[in-house]
């Protein structure tokens, strides 16, 4: 037997250098996912946030083109027909959707991209991109979620009740939707932020399966 040689030993290029992952972050309204994501973006290099399109009215603090691309219902429906959306969903009588262009740009810019979208969108991405990483942020308990929602002075009682009912439905589908993916609890902002950063760091080392072109 010839002796093993150094030439036969393949050191693999770490997947960390191959950017362009889709990271989908979902969770009930009021769980604090926006704050967690903002902190993660400040700390993790080569990571961008997808700007979705929506037909919901602008809220105080929203910036057109940064928070969302704000479209009329008609513009959105034409967009659906023209196939401009990677995924889209109706959420409380408004349309929300991720633009195909935005997802395509992730490879051009070489950055991983976070999609902060609802669970209906997460399901679509899971079937479109088998390597997408799904992360669900849950509150530590119902009372905390209710308190956080009530703390937002902008919501009407009816809106709060609707959001809580939606959160219960979502919470009950997590086991089925997130098998093989991640669920984290936002009990403490720093801990939750660090956990999300840890998941993204670990995912950057995971060898991916070849994906069909979208």
Residues that bind ligand 5GP (CB under 6 A): 29, 52, 56, 87, 89, 91, 96-98, 116-118, 120-121
Minimal distance in Å, beta carbon 82 to ligand 5GP?
A: 16
Alpha-helix runs per DSSP H in the chain: 33-43, 73-82, 100-109, 119-128, 142-151, 157-177, 189-203
Minimal distance in Å, beta carbon 125 to ligand 5GP?
A: 9
Q: Residue with the closest Cβ to ligand 5GP?
A: 121
Minimal distance in Å, beta carbon 21 to ligand 5GP?
A: 17
Nearer to ligand 5GP, 91 or 144 (CB): 91
Nearer to ligand 5GP, 32 or 97 (CB): 97
The radius of gyration of the chain's CA atoms, rounded to the nearest angstrom, is 19
Minimal distance in Å, beta carbon 206 to ligand 5GP?
A: 24
Sheet holding 182-185, edge to edge: 47-49, 112-116, 22-26, 133-138, 182-185
* CB of 97 closer than 8 Å to CB of 89: yes
């Amino acid at each position: 037997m010839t002796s093993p040689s150094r030439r036969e030993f393949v050191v693999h290029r770490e997947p960390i250098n191959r950017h362009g992952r889709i990271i989908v972050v979902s969770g009930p309204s009021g769980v604090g996912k926006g704050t967690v994501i903002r902190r993660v973006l400040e700390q993790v290099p080569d990571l961008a946030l997808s700007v979705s399109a929506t037909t919901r009215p602008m809220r105080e603090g929203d910036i057109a083109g940064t928070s969302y691309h704000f479209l009329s219902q008609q513009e959105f429906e034409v967009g659906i027909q023209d196939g401009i959306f990677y995924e889209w969903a109706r959420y409380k009588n408004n349309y929300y959707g991720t633009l195909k262009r935005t997802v395509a740009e992730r490879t051009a810019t070489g950055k991983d991209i976070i999609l902060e979208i609802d669970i209906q969108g997460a399901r679509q991405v899971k079937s479109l991109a088998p390597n997408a990483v799904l992360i669900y942020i849950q509150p530590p308990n119902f009372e905390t979620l209710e308190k956080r929602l009530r703390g937002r002075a902008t919501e009407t009682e009816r809106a709060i009740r609707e959001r809580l009912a939606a959160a219960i439905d979502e919470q009950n589908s997590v086991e089925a939707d997130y098998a093989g993916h991640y669920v984290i609890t936002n009990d403490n902002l720093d801990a939750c932020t660090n956990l999300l950063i840890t998941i993204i760091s670990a995912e950057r080392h995971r060898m991916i399966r070849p994906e069909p072109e979208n």
